[in-house]
DNA sequence: ACCCTTCAGTTGACGCTACAACATTCGCCC
DNA sequence: GGGCGAATGTTGTAGCGTCAACTGAAGGGT
């Protein structure tokens, strides 16, 4: 079957899009590293843990929320544990599994890093878009995600069956509101 | 000044978008490596060179077209040269500069790799989008690029002052039509 | 009870990228 | 025409991610 090449509009779109995809991680990483000594991925790991009421997740679950492979996560968590931001302990219910928990120090680091991160996200992405484009981007990202990520999960770890009052100081710190 | 956190819609959009940004490079890389033994970035380098009438570009220009830092490009081109896909020679007009030229073997490799790449781009991205969304994505990507890339250049190396007849077999092979 | 498959996670080796230091050349100004 | 800052690349190092191999435990069938 003959290759269906991209037409001019698709071609132009692809070039811009791929440029964003290649450059954005670097931008986020650089800001994060300079202001907080973390990788953007480190930040993601801490943020996902922070959204769980117990600040604890199993490695596989954490890998899912952060869109990472298990080996990658394992290496990162080991390094984070070495810095005292996270601690690991075997899961009581399944001896195969490992739980990762955010330490107080990890929490503080995350809270300190969040404002700078949000500012970057706003400044480099959302401020460049109209409200209408934000809605469009959501739809586009979801659509692509449906293809490249089999069991796409756009939700958050804390979004499960958790009574609202339980959140308390454990409120999420991704790019949302910080705790009081 | 108080941090302006992301509202719910922005938050949800960001999560999906960042997931795409983190996952897409891996998808492109994996396909490329399995089918052609190239990195996606390798492919980009070869493709950009292929669009020049002389199949030759200066390192700095090539770095610009591929959105790469100069050190990164230097390493990649050295490896590509070792595989005989590219050759380097000093620029006659400026003794500081280095020219990179696509070899015949590099051209063949690129042409062989292009169909699989385009199929992946179609299958994983464009097939998931409506024609309307493609237009939206172009605008969004351009807008973000304007922020994260100072001197954003969405054009191609061959788009300069070149008489059409000059292209011949040197027609571009990025995600567009291949040579006859 | 036993085996076999699958699941959960870790580890080690290799490759690629960012960062910083360096060498060389150009352009300019006086 | 000599010196100085900027531009063009290259190289070395360190850090991170991927891949494949491995350990150990759970689940299921017979």
Nearest residue on chain B to A26, judged by CA atoms? B148
Full residue range of the structural domain in which residue B89 is found: 23-113
Which nucleotide's C1' atom has the smallest distance to the CA of A97?
Answer: C8
Q: Is residue A82 part of a domain?
A: yes
Question: In the prediction, which pLDDT does A48 show?
Answer: 97
- Tens digits of residue pLDDT in A61-79: 999 999 999 999 999 999 9
Q: Which token pair is A129?
A: 């878009």
- Tens digits of residue pLDDT in A80-102: 999 999 999 999 999 899 999 99
B15 touches chain A (CB under 8 A): yes
Q: Is residue A52 part of a domain?
A: yes
CATH classification at residue A70: 1.10.10.10
Lowest mean pLDDT among A1-15, A19-33, A146-160, B109-123: A146-160
Closest CA to A65 of B106, B19, B21, B119: B19
Q: Is residue A112 part of a domain?
A: yes
Q: Which token pair is B54?
A: 């002389």
Give the separation between CA A155 and CA A121, rounded to whole angstroms. Answer: 19
Task: Identify the band that residue A163 occupies on the pLDDT scale cut at 50, 70 and 90.
Answer: very low
Residues of chain B with pLDDT under 70: 150-174, 176-180
Q: Is residue A73 part of a domain?
A: yes
Q: Which residue has the higher pLDDT, A7 or A180?
A: A7
Give the separation between CA B28 and CA B38, rounded to whole angstroms. Answer: 10
Residue tagged 């710190």 (tokens): A173
Q: Which token pair is B157?
A: 């190396």
For strand D, the positions having any atom within 7 A of a protein Cβ are 7-12, 16-21, 24-27
A135 touches chain B (CB under 8 A): yes
Give chain B's domain count: 1
Q: Measured between CB atoms, which of A4, A122, A146 is closest to B128?
A: A146
* Chain A nearest C-alpha distance from B178 (Å): 8
Q: Which token pair is B170?
A: 């040197």
Q: Is residue B80 part of a domain?
A: yes
Q: Which residues on adjacent β-strands are paired with residue B124? A: none
Give the separation between CA A70 and CA A76, rounded to whole angstroms. Answer: 10
């Amino acid at each position: 079957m003959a290759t269906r090449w991209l037409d001019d509009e698709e071609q132009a779109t692809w070039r811009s899009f791929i440029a964003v995809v290649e450059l954005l991680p670097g931008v986020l990483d650089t800001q994060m590293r300079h202001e907080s000594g973390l990788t953007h991925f480190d930040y993601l790991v801490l943020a996902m843990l922070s959204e769980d009421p117990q600040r604890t997740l199993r490695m596989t679950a954490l890998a899912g929320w952060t869109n990472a492979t298990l080996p990658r996560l394992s290496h990162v968590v080991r390094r984070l544990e070495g810095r005292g931001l996270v601690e690991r302990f075997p899961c009581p219910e399944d001896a195969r599994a490992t739980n990762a928990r955010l330490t107080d120090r990890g929490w503080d680091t995350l809270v300190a890093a969040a404002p700078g991160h949000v500012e970057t996200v706003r400044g480099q992405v959302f401020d460049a878009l109209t409200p209408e484009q934000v809605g469009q981007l959501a739809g586009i990202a979801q659509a692509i995600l449906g293809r490249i990520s089999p069991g796409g999960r756009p939700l958050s770890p804390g979004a499960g069956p958790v009574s609202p009052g339980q959140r308390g100081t454990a409120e999420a710190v991704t790019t949302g509101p910080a705790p009081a």
